[in-house]
């Protein structure tokens, strides 16, 4: 009698010598999308956020979403289910762990303390599989925070034989991303080869290069709902917020334009003109956007108002600033859920550069 086949095993038809990756903390698939664009086979993405699964699977067919907590996932899981071999020179393990604990915009670390040590749990998989390459992306705070786990992680990489490490804090606006987004990046290899971070782009892309009517974004009003997959959907605004935007100059105006109007000024900003000046501000057409966060749909959370129109940027506009392809579909039930997936993502175009750097 032939041995019964384990239906949980997923066979990989990846040609010998080609690169493959496992994307830990994959979210809705920004890193996976970029690596696939670079020509890397992303076998699976791992994330504890069930709400990201539909978006990940729909847009990255063939890459398996694994809804698991990395701290509880058996180390041999990928060997058993995907026949991943240990010490595979063409295997890349990616670890873009949640970074709330080290984020400068976080005000209550007690709620995010679980994110502090996730890199060390990721390192256990590196030790078990000894992949040819390791990729990490995180907030700059992981470098500067005195409680950072990064030094311990780097020491572990060195002990495991990853002698060639390229790392640093980069501004993604220097790499063809139309957004000022500072992040810590790391590429490490145990192979005997030089490695570096991607080369900077010759051109700085701006909001005007990717948004606006000429780029396929028709004018809309606050509260507009787009029922198509394009998701040019934007949050609604109350009467007072619309009045505030009507006083805010186009193309980079800020809340100081209505600071002396009693009916419009917020009590928390009185006498604090130098604090949180970007909140309620408009983007500039001729500059990269500010960092796209998970709250980019709300003008009170940053400079997220459209340069000209009296509204926040739409879901698709935020995704475009994060360099998601325009046919990337966000399979969610709310603006907030889609924005969370988009804001948490590694910009696809930057992920592609990281992948190409390894391939080249």
Confidence bin at 177 (pLDDT 50/70/90): very high
Task: Write out pLDDT tens, residues 199-249.
Answer: 999 999 999 999 999 999 999 999 999 999 999 999 999 999 999 999 999
Q: What is the mean pLDDT of residues 160-185?
A: 97
Q: What is the C-alpha to C-alpha distance for residues 167 and 194, in angstroms, rounded to an integer?
A: 13
Task: Please write the tens of the pLDDT for every residue from 326-339.
Answer: 999 999 999 999 99
Helices (H) and strands (E) in the chain, counts: 11, 7
Catalytic site residue from 26, 33, 96, 99: 99
| Angle (CA) 250 225 290, round 5° | 40
Ordered by where they begin, the domains of the chain are: 20-204+347-359 (3.40.50.150)
**56-86 burial, b if ≥16 CB within 10 A, otherwise e?**
bbbbbeebbbbeeebeebeeebbeebbebee
CA-only gyration radius of the chain, Å: 22
Considering the chain, what percentage of its residues have pLDDT values greater than 70?
93
Are 143 and 169 in contact by the 8 Å Cβ rule? The answer is: yes
pTM of the full structure: 0.93
135: part of which helix (H) or strand (E)?
strand 133-138
Q: Report, as an integer, the average pLDDT of 184-192.
A: 97
Mean pLDDT within 247-252: 97
Q: What pLDDT digit, counting tens, does each position of 29-43 carry?
A: 999 999 999 999 999
Residue 3 has pLDDT above 70, yes or no: no
Q: So what's the pLDDT on residue 98?
A: 80
Kindly state the average pLDDT of the residues 48-68.
97
Q: What is the pLDDT of residues 70-114, one digit of tens each?
A: 999 999 999 999 999 999 999 999 999 886 554 555 445 554 556
pLDDT of residue 110: 56
124 is written with which tokens?
């256990």
Residues sharing a CB contact under 8 Å with residue 268, sequence separation 6 or more, in sequence order? none
* CA neighbours closer than 13 Å in the CB half-sphere of residue 316: 24
Tell me the H-state helices in the chain. Answer: 30-38, 53-59, 77-82, 118-129, 141-144, 150-159, 207-210, 239-247, 315-321, 335-344, 348-359
What pLDDT is attached to residue 269?
A: 81
**For residue 2, is pLDDT > 80?**
no
* Sheet strand arrangement including 133-138: 64-67, 41-47, 20-24, 91-95, 133-138, 182-189, 164-171
**284/252 Cα distance (integer angstroms):** 5
The pair of three-digit structure tokens given for residue 114, joined into one six-digit string: 């679980």
- pLDDT computed for residue 147 by the predictor: 84
Q: What is the pLDDT of residues 255-300, one digit of tens each?
A: 999 998 999 988 888 877 777 789 999 999 999 999 999 999 999 9
Instruction: Output the average pLDDT for the chain.
Output: 92
User: Per-residue pLDDT averaged across 346-352, rounded?
Assistant: 98
Q: Is residue 96 annotated as part of the catalytic site, yes or no? A: no
Q: Angle formed by the axes of helices 118-129 and 150-159, to 10°? A: 10
């Amino acid at each position: 009698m032939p041995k019964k086949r384990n239906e949980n095993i997923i066979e990989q038809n990846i040609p010998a010598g080609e690169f493959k990756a496992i994307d830990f903390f994959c979210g809705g698939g920004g890193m996976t999308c970029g690596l696939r664009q670079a020509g890397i086979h992303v076998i699976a993405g791992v994330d504890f956020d069930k709400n990201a699964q539909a978006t990940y699977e729909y847009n990255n067919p063939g890459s398996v979403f694994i809804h698991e907590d990395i701290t509880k996932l058996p180390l041999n899981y990928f060997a058993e289910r995907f026949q991943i071999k240990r010490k595979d020179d063409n295997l890349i393990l990616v670890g873009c762990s949640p970074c709330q604990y080290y984020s400068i915009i976080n005000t209550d670390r007690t709620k995010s303390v679980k994110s502090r040590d996730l890199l060390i749990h990721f390192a256990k998989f590196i030790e078990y599989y000894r992949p040819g390459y390791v990729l990490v992306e995180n907030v700059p705070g992981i470098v500067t925070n005195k409680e950072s786990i990064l030094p311990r992680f780097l020491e572990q990489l060195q002990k495991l034989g990853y002698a060639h490490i390229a790392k640093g804090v980069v501004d993604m606006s220097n790499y063809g991303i139309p957004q000022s987004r500072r992040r810590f990046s790391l590429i490490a290899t145990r192979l005997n080869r030089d490695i570096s971070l991607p080369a900077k782009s010759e051109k700085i892309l701006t909001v005007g290069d990717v948004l606006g009517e000429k780029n396929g974004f028709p004018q809309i009003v606050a509260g507009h709902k787009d029922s198509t997959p394009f998701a040019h959907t934007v949050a609604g605004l109350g009467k007072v917020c619309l009045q505030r935007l009507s006083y805010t100059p186009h193309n980079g105006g800020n809340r100081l334009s209505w600071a002396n109007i009693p009916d419009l000024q917020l009590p928390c900003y009185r006498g604090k003109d130098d604090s949180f000046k970007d909140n309620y501000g408009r983007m500039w057409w001729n500059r990269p956007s500010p960092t796209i966060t998970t709250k980019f749909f709300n003008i009170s959370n940053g400079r997220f108002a459209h340069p000209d129109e009296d509204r926040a940027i739409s879901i698709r506009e935020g995704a475009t600033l994060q360099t998601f392809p325009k046919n990337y579909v966000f399979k969610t039930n709310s603006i907030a859920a889609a924005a969370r997936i988009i804001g948490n993502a590694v910009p696809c175009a930057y992920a592609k550069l990281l992948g190409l750097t390894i391939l080249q």
